[in-house]
Amino acid sequence: MSIPTVDLAEFLSGDQEQKKKFVQKLGEAYEEVGFVSVKNHGISDGLIADLYKYVQQFFSLPLSQKKKYELAGMAGQRGYTSFGTEHAKGSEAPDLKEFFQFGQVSQSVYSKQNYTSNVQVDQIVHFNSTFEEAFRAFENSGKALLRAIALYLGLTENYFDEHIADGNSILRAIHYPPITEEPKSAIRAEQHEDINLITLLVGASADGLEILNRQGDWVPVTSLPEQIVVNVGDMLQRLTNNRLRSTTHRVVNPKREFWHTSRFSIPFFLHPKAGMSLKCLESCIDKDHPKVYDDCTAGEYLNERLVEIGLKK
């Protein structure tokens, strides 16, 4: 499927006409598809290459060494999470993946008080510093995209800024190991929607991502070189009373001849601070679109979903 492509440089150009066209194209894509491919996103090729290099080195470590970075009671929000721990909402089958999560870096009194420190991977030089640099780059790109979304929704351009500053965002490195026996299912990661506001995904190391279109068909999605895929999450869908769509997606197994290969993927889940209200925007409610969600905060919704996917008791 050819998902819509937008050029973030147009939004940041200073040309008001280009900016307006970008906002319209982005907003319409999120209403109709829920996914876009973004050019000139501001995350350098070199940084992405380094990130994948260190991620592959980490997952190549023996399990006994990776387990040293798995912290009890963290609900998978920091450090390593073992293979088969997480499952999709409504599914009992575990996803066929292991992952490492890197969260908000202390940069203010708020973040120091509200977030646990990131796990230090001392065995791989530059691992943590590269993750921190990538975290900031993704955060900056996400902020620009949310500013465009705010304008499309008729809000002030900086509406989301205060909510995502020191937000509970997560940079997740995922490893889908080689398939060594006949799988019980064709699915590596069961169908799901993301929890957060928006997700920024740099190109995975292999195909497998599919999205569910409006006709109910599963369609493969592959990001092009030098582009990232950005999709709407459930928090933004709730806030906009379903005006912007959190698209269902999944990861399927490769063809048999590629079973021996690993798949790596690195999404950035852009979250607001826990106290942000997800109450449906009044501008998204009318007689044809009655309010469909109860009021809650981002923190309350996140906790609810972490329980549903098996990361929290």
Q: What confidence tens digit (pLDDT) does each residue in 21-75 have?
A: 999 999 999 998 888 999 999 999 999 999 999 999 999 999 999 999 998 887 7
* CATH number, domain containing residue 89: 2.60.120.330
Q: What confidence tens digit (pLDDT) does each residue in 222-234 have?
A: 767 788 999 999 9
Amino acid at 137: A
Q: What is the DSSP letter of 94?
A: B
Q: Would 89 be classed as within a structural domain?
A: yes
Task: Count CB atoms within 10 A of the CB of residue 301.
Answer: 19
Q: Residues 200, 233: contact at Cβ < 8 Å?
A: no
Q: Would 170 be classed as within a structural domain?
A: yes
Low-confidence spans in the chain with pLDDT less than 50: none
Domain that holds residue 232: 5-308
Return the H-helix or E-strand segment holding 131: helix 127-152
Q: Specify the number of domains making up the chain.
A: 1
Q: What pLDDT sits at residue 190?
A: 79
* E strand segments, 214-313: 218-220, 227-232, 249-252, 263-270
Return the structure tokens found at 55.
Answer: 């991620």
Q: The whole model's pTM is what?
A: 0.92
Return the structure tokens found at 72.
Answer: 């009890």
Q: Residues 264, 172: contact at Cβ < 8 Å?
A: no
Q: Would 26 be classed as within a structural domain?
A: yes
Report how far residue 305's alpha carbon sits from residue 205's, in angstroms, rounded to the nearest whole number.
28
Q: Would 313 be classed as within a structural domain?
A: no
Q: What pLDDT sits at residue 90?
A: 66
| Spatial CA neighbour of 34 closest among 255, 277, 209 | 209
